[in-house]
Chain A
Amino acid sequence: MFGLNAKDTRLFFIVIALVAFAPFLMNPFPTDSAMAQFNAGYPDLMQRFVIFGIFAIGFNILFGLTGYLSFGHAAFLGAGSYAAVWMLKLLTINVIPAIMISVIVAGVFALLIGFISLRRSGIYFSILTLAFAQMAFALAASVLTPITGGETGLQTALSDPRILDGARDAGGNIPAPGLWGMEMRDSAEWVVSGWQFTFNVGYYLAGLCMILAFYLSIRIFRSPFGMMLRAVKSNQQRMNYTGLNTRPYTLAAFVISGMYAGLAGGLMAAMDPLAGAERMQWTASGEVVLMTILGGAGTLIGPVLGAGFIKYFENIFSKINDNVLHQWFAFMPDGIEDFLVTIVHPFVGKGWHLTLGLMFMAVVIFLPGGLVEGGQRIARLFGRKKKAADKETDASKTPAE
């Protein structure tokens, strides 16, 4: 269906189902239970899941297929964000033009940087992209302040022209980005005996974008173009010796993945019309590399899993504080309770980085293929009983070389 084979179609439908029912799946615990800490079904976090999912899917098209490790991908995300916020300021508060322009701007930016950086390969390519991104970051934070808002960031203001909206939003409040009357931050809530589910407009818009992005990425992976990119990964020299110029293919992959990053940036700005320079910093570029490798580079579903994994733990662990810990261990005798809280304390709250670092190490040490490989191993462990699951993960796993 949709030009996909049976396995891919199944994977695609699973992703659609996951995105559509995320408000339920992410909220498995009643709101007043002790486990509610682990709920992730609030709009802000769900939006981040899908937006970073898009970012990682795009990065994977470049890194997973061609093997070119870009260390400056956040620059495109940042450029997309700025473009989107400017669109919201100048043209209209409707997010559609903002998202479109963010993709275009990021694409042009990627074309420029890719054209220069792709002259080199390996670590030299990585450092070139890193250098461009760091330059973009430094300039955005300092000299380009009139365009980027400097360190405070770019945001919408009441006095913005918003040509298409005219005087419609002349009220006292800064209008929130929206879609024909719906605001991105609007949510419908549904309370069922202790459970509370939130359905957010922005989340579903971003989710729709992610489904489209995912579909496109499957098609790219399965196309002759994708095959060519994989050939570049396995042996670029041989490709060149057969008289084929690989540069246009790698450049196309670079621009496509830059446009994905721009889409992610545009969506971020659409959810919250604020774009800051720190989105371009190397740590942000590093994050998407981590997401992709952690999930499983070169696999279809891996980057999305990796993005979800990192964003989930980032949020959940940083939320847990000593009070919560005391609540959890309250059933134990006082001495042991305090002891356990002291032990766990450095790993949560402000120390969540520590947990995240340990998790990276654990995943990389024990699961060389990322989370996807972990899934495959579990599936294999259960053998025939989970044959269906095995096939799914097989479908998502494409040969690395």
Chain B
Amino acid sequence: MEAIVLQILSGLDGGSAYALIALGLTLIFGTLGVVNFAHGALFMIGAFCTVTLQRLLSYSHTVIDESQKDFLGNPLKVQVPYIQDWFGEAAANTIIDWSVPLAILFAIPVMLIIGIVMERGLIKHFYKRPHADQILVTFGLAIVLQEIIKAYYGANPIPAPAPDVFKGSFDFGVLLGFDANRIIYPYWRLVYFAFAALLITGVFVFLQFTTFGMVVRAGMADRETVGLLGIDIDKRFTIMFGLAACVAGLAGVMYTPINSPNYHMGMDFLVISFVVVVVGGMGSLPGAVLAGFVLGILQSFASMREVIEFLPGINQIVIYLAAIVILLTRPRGLMGRRGVMEE
């Protein structure tokens, strides 16, 4: 029982990342009808927003500190971040410590701009082209973005630690009435899951209960009619693309303490995210979220020692195996609509 709870819990954070990326992919596909292979790259750029902010915050100048001496007896040169000059030492340390959550604020405008520029500059010209062309051009774009990041930040992962408050683990078992120290779960993963749940709810609320969301949903159902009603649907879809980029970016920002950002993390997630989207059913937002969590938790169960001993190698293939089984039993994924991307 404890093992099961633990596996479900540890499946949640992987599942959250899959669900967030898949949600963004489905948003783009459902609104614009574009298969965006650059979505993994957006996730990666989000993660590097954290790194950028970290670097900006710790941008410093050299001060000669007379009170400290180095081993030669000369005054020690210390690097003082500019924000320390502005806010004082304690505040500056707190700000740097909290750079990952702060990066959310930084990433939202950045990702929105990147998303909108991408849509207006490139994707717009590909609406009428075959899906294969869309895949190819966005794949090219993903490589370009990835290489730019690599050229600037290098090929090594850059650690971006969580705030001190969230370091360490949380004894979840006690809360549920199990023995102490049986179900240990890192705080940050809990935060990540909560954040993902919040973001997903936010997107659904936005689509379901705002006028803008209503128009977008109408546009997803029948773009032409909405256009004929005098609504500038293109503009709204562009904003939705920016929003989807934002969701992917924020998923990346918050993922940095779990996995240090590196330039190929987008590609690593991309393939699984596509599997998630398709298993969920093309064009279905709840399907994407559901499939993300289902596959994340399945993967976590397959990584249990007992399961691996029983079925060696299952942890490597369980997502794909599940995808095959689901697609063979449910032709359009978990919640897919008829006739979408079936030709």
Question: A residues touching B (Cβ–Cβ < 8 Å)?
Answer: 67, 69, 116, 119-124, 127-128, 130-132, 134-135, 138-139, 141-144, 236, 282-283, 286, 289-290, 293-294, 297, 346, 351, 353-354, 356-361, 364-365, 368
Are A123 and B125 interface neighbours, CB within 8 A?
Answer: no
Q: Cα distance A297–B129 when bound, in Å?
A: 14
CB-contact partner of A357 in B133, B140, B279, B341, under 8 A? B140
Interface of B is mostly: helix
Are B324 and A294 interface neighbours, CB within 8 A?
Answer: no
The answer to whether residues A142 and B316 also contact, given A290-B139, A294-B136, A360-B136 and a CB cut-off of 8 A, is: yes
Are B324 and A353 interface neighbours, CB within 8 A?
Answer: no
The answer to whether residues A124 and B342 also contact, given A351-B147, A358-B144, A365-B125 and a CB cut-off of 8 A, is: yes
Are A134 and B317 interface neighbours, CB within 8 A?
Answer: yes
Chain A, residue nearest B129 (CB): A368
Mask, B294-338, CB within 8 Å of A = 1, is 000000000000000000110011011101100110011100000
Chain B's nearest CB lies how many Å from the CB of A297?
A: 7
Q: Which of B45-53, B230-238, B270-278 lines the interface with chain A?
A: B270-278
Residues of A within 8 A of B147 (CB): 346, 351, 353-354, 357
Q: Cα distance A261–B331 when bound, in Å?
A: 28
Q: Does B221 reach chain A (CB closer than 8 Å)?
A: no
Are B317 and A127 interface neighbours, CB within 8 A?
Answer: no
Q: Does B282 reach chain A (CB closer than 8 Å)?
A: yes
Are B316 and A123 interface neighbours, CB within 8 A?
Answer: no
Q: Does B137 reach chain A (CB closer than 8 Å)?
A: yes
Chain A's nearest CB lies how many Å from the CB of B270?
A: 9
Q: Cα distance A162–B278 when bound, in Å?
A: 46
Are B313 and A138 interface neighbours, CB within 8 A?
Answer: yes
Residues of B within 8 A of A141 (CB): 316
Q: Does B76 reach chain A (CB closer than 8 Å)?
A: no
The interface on chain B, measured as residues whose beta carbon lies within 8 A of the other chain's beta carbons, has a size of 45
CB-contact partner of A127 in B122, B135, B150, B323, under 8 A? B323
Are A135 and B274 interface neighbours, CB within 8 A?
Answer: no
Q: Cα distance A138–B321 when bound, in Å?
A: 12
Are B139 and A360 interface neighbours, CB within 8 A?
Answer: yes
Q: Cα distance A134–B317 when bound, in Å?
A: 8
Q: Cα distance A322–B343 when bound, in Å?
A: 48
Q: Cα distance A38–B142 when bound, in Å?
A: 27
Chain B, residue nearest A356 (CB): B143
Q: Give the residues from 193 to 216 in chain B that come closer than 8 angstroms, CB to CB, to chain A.
A: none
Chain A, residue nearest B320 (CB): A131
Are B341 and A123 interface neighbours, CB within 8 A?
Answer: yes
Chain A's nearest CB lies how many Å from the CB of B333?
A: 7
Chain B's nearest CB lies how many Å from the CB of A129?
A: 10
Residues of A within 8 A of B141 (CB): 357, 361
Chain B's nearest CB lies how many Å from the CB of A362?
A: 8
Q: Does B132 reach chain A (CB closer than 8 Å)?
A: yes
Are B343 and A121 interface neighbours, CB within 8 A?
Answer: yes
Q: A123-B278, A139-B313 are in contact. List 7 more A-B contacts (CB 8 A).
A: A124-B333, A127-B275, A130-B271, A130-B275, A138-B317, A356-B143, A357-B140
Q: Does B228 reach chain A (CB closer than 8 Å)?
A: no
Are A364 and B332 interface neighbours, CB within 8 A?
Answer: no
Residues of B within 8 A of A353 (CB): 143, 146-147
Residues of A within 8 A of B148 (CB): 354
Q: Does B1 reach chain A (CB closer than 8 Å)?
A: no
Q: Cα distance A138–B151 when bound, in Å?
A: 30
Residues of B within 8 A of A364 (CB): 133, 136-137, 140
Residues of A within 8 A of B312 (CB): 142-143
Residues of A within 8 A of B341 (CB): 122-124
Are A132 and B282 interface neighbours, CB within 8 A?
Answer: no
CB-contact partner of A132 in B278, B319, B324, under 8 A? B324
Mask, B222-234, CB within 8 Å of A = 1, is 0000000000000
